[in-house]
Amino acid sequence: MINRNVFNPIAYFGNGAVKHIIDEVQTRKLSKAFVVTDSQIVRCGVSEKITRLLEKNNLAYTVFDGVEANPTIDNVQAGVSAFECSDADYLIAVGGGSSIDTAKAIGIIIANPGFTDVRSLEGAAATDNPAIPTIAVPTTAGTAAEVTINYVITDVENRRKFVCYDPHSVPVVSIIDAGMMSSMPPSLKAATGIDALTHAIEGYITLGAWTLTDMFHLQAIELIAAALRASVAGDAQASEDMALGQYIAGMGFSNVGLGLVHGMAHPLSAFYGTPHGMANAVLLPHIMEWNSAFTEGKYRSIAAAFDIPQAYTMPLSEARSEAVDAVRRLNQDIGIPSRLRDIGMKEEDAMALATAALADICTGGNPRPVTLTDILQLYRRLY
């Protein structure tokens, strides 16, 4: 079997790493930045950390802050239009997954104008050219959008999210600076942290997993399991560990895919605007339990990553239960709701949600075979 892996050409890690944006811009002889972000990031003064740095070094920029949570086709098209009027020659994405995903789509379309409808980017679009140079600066420790080959856009008209997979979209530089994440409120740290854990666990058990990505995912699980509680509580070192852990998870799942948690989470965001990380967080322990018999011995390693004693010597069924319970306890400790109704699901939408989830590209990677009836029952049971 042949496995392909795609990563950032360059990434910087650590507090203060944002200063290296200047080195990269000057080395690449770039002239004007198109800063992609959202209005909340601007109001909080987070994006200003980047624009001040550009100003200090006499580098021109334009700010586009029209990104919404669960970014839409309209957001992308507005960004493309604004870029075309800006005289910019590179992108800086500042924000969570929404800003970075929007920047990826803008960068791809500017370099490949045949995809201006955005919908045609779904799946593995046959783009000819790499996105215009993009520097990604995440402000949340969760999505790993700064390292992945995929991005997700919401089709509001059809109430669906679609996933785009394109190695051409990977940012040429990523800046993993926990200082840029310091303004996250505890609730956002919790939701994005479990999003990162979901990436690591689903990437570890997905059908496409293999030795190299297993290495990334297990290390990510161990880092996140040890750091997330303290990060939510405000510990600086734990926040750095979370920033690293979510990136490592992205190095893995970007190259092998995910599973049913993401498949079921995407429709919740498309239907109700539910934050993606929160949807994943509520679903994760339940879907882990449902998948457990189809994961061979991998839940032993997950239990061990959560520091469960005797994870490798207890009966396999017990190790599986311990792994699921460890995730449940983590959710409880950081305030994640336990039912889908708590995050906005409407029971009457269960069939429409299930139909969308079955068609989601992530669902195909699930280790346990999935039917429409299975997903419908899960939505109703977890409601």
Per-residue pLDDT at 1 = 84
Q: Measuring CA to CA, how many Å separate 354 from each of 63, 281, 359?
A: 38, 18, 9
What is the average pLDDT across 150-175?
96
Phi-psi region of 300 (alpha: psi -120 to 50; beta: other; left: phi over 0): alpha
For strands 90-95 and 60-64, give the pairing: unpaired
- Evaluate if residue 32 carries a pLDDT over 90: yes
Residue from 23, 18, 71 nearest 46 by CA: 18
Per-residue pLDDT at 290 = 98
How far apart are the C-alpha atoms of 63 and 41, rounded to whole Å?
11
For the stretch 195-208, pLDDT in tens is 999 999 999 999 99
Per-residue pLDDT at 52 = 97
For the stretch 220-247, pLDDT in tens is 999 999 999 999 999 999 999 999 999 9
| Residue type present at position 177 | D
Per-residue pLDDT at 26 = 97
For the stretch 314-350, pLDDT in tens is 999 999 999 999 999 999 999 999 999 999 999 999 9
* DSSP letter (8 states) at residue 146: T
For the stretch 88-114, pLDDT in tens is 999 999 999 999 999 999 999 999 999
For the stretch 312-324, pLDDT in tens is 999 999 999 999 9
Q: Do 193 and 135 touch, CB atoms closer than 8 A?
A: no
- Evaluate if residue 24 carries a pLDDT over 90: yes
Q: Do 57 and 117 touch, CB atoms closer than 8 A?
A: no
The pLDDT-based confidence of 65 (bands split at 50, 70, 90) is: very high
- Polymer length of the chain: 383
146 Cα distance to chain centroid? 9
Helix (H) or strand (E) holding 282: helix 276-291
- Evaluate if residue 139 carries a pLDDT over 90: yes
How far apart are the C-alpha atoms of 73 and 64, rounded to whole Å?
15
Q: Which of 89-93, 135-139, 181-185, 306-310 has the lowest mean pLDDT?
A: 181-185
What is the average pLDDT across 63-92?
97
The pLDDT-based confidence of 70 (bands split at 50, 70, 90) is: very high
- Evaluate if residue 123 carries a pLDDT over 90: yes
- Evaluate if residue 183 carries a pLDDT over 90: no
Q: Name every residue whose Cβ is closer than 8 Å to that of residue 185 and which is 6 or more positions away in sequence.
A: none
Q: Do 127 and 118 touch, CB atoms closer than 8 A?
A: no
Long-range contacts of 228-237 (CB under 8 A, 24+ apart): 228/189, 228/190, 228/193, 228/194, 228/197, 228/330, 228/334, 229/330, 229/333, 229/334, 231/141, 231/189, 231/193, 232/186, 232/189, 232/190, 232/193, 232/334, 233/186, 234/186, 236/178
- Evaluate if residue 276 carries a pLDDT over 90: yes
Residue from 71, 113, 74, 112 nearest 93 by CA: 71
Q: Do 78 and 108 touch, CB atoms closer than 8 A?
A: no
pLDDT averaged over every residue in the chain:
97
